[in-house]
Structure 1
Amino acid sequence: MTTWRPDVLGDGYEQLELPLGTDPDGEGEISATLVRYQPTSTELPDRAVLYVHGFTDYFFQQHLAEHFAARGYRFFALDLRKCGRSRAPGHTPHFVTDLSYYDLELDEALRVVRSEVGGGVLLAAHSTGGLVLPLWLDRLGRRPGGTAAAGIRGLVLNSPWFDLQGPSYLRNVGTALIDLVGRIAPRAMIPLPKPDTYGRSLQRDGWRYDLDWKPLTGFPIRFGWLRAVRRGHAALHRGLDIGVPSLILRSGASRSAPRYDSTIDTVDAVLDVRQIARWAGCLGDRTTIVPIGGARHDVFLSTPGPLAEAFRELDLWLAWLDGAAEADESAGSGSAADASADNTVSVLQRTMGEHA
């Protein structure tokens, strides 16, 4: 039985617990939490967005849900096991030793969303979620019917984590060490600096969230978790086939700093955007990557100018996705190839004209 209850975000937001059974990493019973935004409406759209957060994160970006709703999408977000709403006493925050473990809650969340909506589902993710979702889609594509049978229309990635930032030796010798220690002592913490610069930047700009679920200095990084991430990176770098078009939004520049200053408001202070650009082509299918000048690591938590630009680029891509679907349907109805091509051109011209 599906029982939704009020969510911490208030009016219009509800949550549903997704029981997952016993944790394969040995931390007892676990669950994930599906959140939906359902404003008062006499008619609900027949398509949806399913959003997945990153590390030291959970869903709280109400303006993102409301933006998609205004464009004709039902909005759902998933707090993964041991994250945000889904974390229980005794759970190590965000800890998994294999990213494929997330398939369980992703499959179940997709099932619930499709049962409520009936139409296609657009996936969206931020940071580590932007690695988790492509890996899941690649595995999903090998099942009977692939992503098409699953009803997935496209993928929007917001500053996805595609490689390990820092000096090159960390990606070579460091990865070998991570692999070794991650197998022997998976919960051992990696001794790393814990700057609060990114968190301070978000708070100074007025973004508010639960500091127990998203602490300013982040949760500790553990060898077993980072080993799982590096194995995910390796799979991505070998090339994936996600089966759907994707949009990747990222900042125009990266910078780290030991303490906050105003320049942190206009850069990705977490990931190296050059790595995002380098590995974007490994997703397969059609990929559109757009740098947003002045954006933060979470592009949709940027200052007003870059945030508006990010939403504009998102809307352009959504319009293109709708146009491409129209063209595909026209081609599949028996139209001649040249008529299909003319239809595609007219759709794109109309799309660009609307956003000029």
Structure 2
Amino acid sequence: MQDTKSRKGLIAAAIAVVLVLGGGIGAAFATGILGSSGSDSSASSGPSESPSVKAAPVSITTTPGDGAVGVNPAVLPSVTATNAVINQVILKPQSGGDTVPGILAADKAVWTAGAPLAFNTKYRLEVVLTDTAGKETTRRQGFETVLPANEANAFMYPQNAASVGVGQPIDITFSEPVTNKDAVEQAIKITSTSGQTGAFFWLTDQHVRYRPETFWAANSAVTVDMQLFGVDFGNGMIGNFNETRTFNTHNTRLAVVDNYTKTMQVFMDGQLVRTFPVTLGEPTWPSPSGYQVVVSQHEKLPFRAESIGLKPGDPDYYEPFDASWASRLTNSGVFVHQALDGALGALGRINVSHGCVGMSAEGAKYFYDNFDAGDVVQVLNTEAGPVPIHDGYGDWNIPWDQYAGQQP
């Protein structure tokens, strides 16, 4: 019995030792079955990975847009980035050339070109961006500026640094019809040292004049600043230049021709200095009245009856001759010139010309030597009306309220 009890005691003791020593194993096993209470951090698994940063969608808005054609070179291109910053913008002609300079805003979200473009040029635009995740991307686009067929030019008289008479209007002819007349007028600034202001008068869609209310002041300077680059003339035509011109007026020179007295009185700065006998247009060819402005001068100029619509056999036809000391007053053929020898007896007495002011050799040469482009001739008391604006420079025959009141 004792031996049996002893053996049972030893077995029990051995089991107890196993239970004590294996308590951790039992606990771990139990936990695996029943689940953790969460109070023991050592029982958790290894550290978790951080999620990757996801960038917001990147986009750019450009002016002009990708693939645009007929772009006005005066409109400065721009780039606006969304959900990114702009690192670099390269804008240059596809065929090579200088990069167009630009200005990047402080927030690096907007870039604007700092110089106008060229006509008839294909441009390549490259934009380097960094998105919100720090990733760099590049966007590429292209566009083309206005082609030569849509460029518009203008031609002005008087020329730069010219000296002209006080009656000379500013005359501008455009290469293309102008329908946006207000825009073109606003792009042409005209100032004078005399402080005179004036108004534009459109003869046609391609031809405009400008004059003050009264003749320009003597010995003054007139500046015409034409900032027409990029101006939309209308119909897709774009101005292609900027130019500033200044011309000067000389002293006041006025010749008053009176049909009643058949004389020309010459006034210099308001003072009567000479009087000459003249012959004017006969009844079927009366000389135009009103103000006329010297257009050009010629020591010798061929006169042909065909130029005024006459042909051999017509009652008023005359044989060709070269006129001496000829000063043109109208496009239609009115001149101050030396009368033919056969007409010298008519000077101061009767009218025998085809509308011209015929003078003696002395008188015609005096006028030629002392008058110039822009100087004024006033013709009084003839049977014809005044010279119209389109026939030479008949601007001064239009009342000021009508001239200045024309709607563009």
Give the TM-score normalised by the residue count of structure 2: 0.17
User: Going by fraction, where is helix more abundant, 1 or 2?
Assistant: 1
